[in-house]
Amino acid sequence: MSVLCGLNKSVIAVAKKHYDAVLTDIVLPYREVHRYVRPVICVVGVLANIAIILVLLRPVMRRSPINILLIVIAVFDMTLMATYFVFGAIEMCNPVFFSYAWIVYTQFYAIFSVFAHSASLWLTVVMAGMRYLILRQARSSRGGPSVDSTRGAVIGVIIAMIISLIGSVPNFLRYNIIDHGARPVPSLCTAETSTYRRHFVNESSTVNAFSLGRPEWWNCGWERFNFWTSGMLLKIMPCVLLTIFMALLVRLLVEARQRRNRLRRTIHTDTNRRSRRSSAERTTTMLILIVLVFLVTELPQGMLVVATGIQPTVLFIMSHFGDVLDLLSLINSSFNFVLYCTMSAQFRLQFILTFGACCKRCFAMPRDTVTTFITSRAAPNDMKSECARLTTELNGNGPLSASVVLSASVDESPNGGDQRLAATAV
């Protein structure tokens, strides 16, 4: 049963024949490649998200509420790609495919994948909204509860989880395991070209057959309710909100740069303050790119959901482009690591400090002088301890072999500006 339920069978048959004739030749070349591309992206994505989690869990990184949200997003992306890797690894004729344990895992994946993907999407919405509110509060003189806090991040995570759970409830109830008993082995599995032929030729000619069905009370009305609930709440709404927040963040970024250019022409600005503004703009730019990647990968699916709701036969387009949509989701789940490494000098340094011991030659710092600034909101005493810790790590007792001179430059202005730690490798 699908969103096509209730339509005339002849209409469904004509639509299927039409879309098969138009789209099969278009998607077939990639369909052959997808089985090889999928596991590679999954493995790389899982490792990349593990690296993100370990780096952002370092003390100097987890102080930021935005980083807390990024950690939770990485956890969901990692588990989603890991479960998808297992799901795609078991082919139809694999003996495991006919086991009860596998149908239970299939049911789990069908439920969990929807929840995890929607949670990651809504967490990105929360992150974009939080960044916008932080920048608005920084520009406004009015008081109020600070959004830039761990408490704000935790509340944002809870909100994203609740929305994702509500949108996934119909999907939780949609599946039911059906036991068909002993059935003949499919001819595809016993063919000469089958990789798994040896598992069935000399054994019993039957296998236990299980499938995922619908509960007896599940009818066409429930199917359409599930479609629109998940489509609107888990696809359309977050895409619309991401578009709005991205536009607002871009506007704030443009205004900040225009204001900075005016100040440069009129007054002399302190070097540390200019650097802090530049760092804030880089953070905002990185978050805009994260939101943009989500939009590029999720918006096509959202548009197809709306089109299918209006014209149910569009579902055949989604089925033909299923592998392409899977690829977009996989890229979305693994691309954040590239953005962090290219956009954040602090992330790159903490990545080196975290994984430098694994490969000193790969992560050894050059002998020429390199100056790296780490932005922190630590108190002056904490900054001194951070200097001592980094000195220990970078001077041979830690993962890096370069000798390093560290000095702390603390801005103790009345407004409590960011503190800065200068690490110079020589």
Distance CA 333, CA 316 (A): 25
pLDDT recorded at residue 79:
96
C-alpha closest to that of 377 among 66, 49, 16, 42 = 66
Distance CA 144, CA 186 (A): 66
Look at 274 and 308; give whichever has higher pLDDT. Answer: 308
pLDDT recorded at residue 367:
44
Model confidence over 364-408: pLDDT tens digits?
A: 555 443 444 444 444 444 444 554 555 454 444 443 433 333 333
Contact (CB, 8 A) for 72 and 159:
no
pLDDT recorded at residue 110:
93
Distance of CA 385 to CAs 60, 361, 380, Å? Answer: 11, 27, 9
Q: Is the pLDDT of residue 53 over 80?
A: yes
As a whole number, mean pLDDT of residues 226-251 equals 88
Domain residue ranges in the chain? 9-175+214-343, 348-425
Helix segments in 191-314, DSSP class H:
220-231, 237-266, 271-310
Q: Is the pLDDT of residue 35 over 60?
A: yes
Q: How many residues does the chain have?
A: 426
Averaging pLDDT over each range in 16-25, 109-118, 290-299, which range is the top one?
109-118
Q: Residue 195: is it exposed, middle or buried by C-beta count within 10 angstroms (0-12/13-18/19+)?
A: exposed
Contact (CB, 8 A) for 380 and 410:
yes
Residues 6 or more apart in contact with residue 391 via CB below 8 angstroms: 404, 406
Distance CA 297, CA 11 (A): 31
As a whole number, mean pLDDT of residues 341-355 equals 87
Distance CA 68, CA 157 (A): 9
Distance CA 331, CA 310 (A): 29
9-175+214-343 belongs to CATH 3.40.1010.10? no
Q: Is the pLDDT of residue 227 over 60?
A: yes
Question: Phi and psi of 168, rounded to 5°?
Answer: -95, -10
Q: Is the pLDDT of residue 344 over 70?
A: yes
Distance CA 399, CA 393 (A): 6
Exposure b/e, 372-393, CB count within 10 A at least 16 = b: bbbbbebeeebbeebbeebbeb
Model confidence over 112-171: pLDDT tens digits?
A: 999 999 999 999 999 999 988 888 887 776 666 677 788 989 999 999 999 999 999 999
CA 383 to chain centre: 32
As a whole number, mean pLDDT of residues 182-211 equals 80
Distance CA 54, CA 110 (A): 28
Mean pLDDT, the chain, integer = 78
| This prediction's pTM | 0.79
pLDDT recorded at residue 409:
33
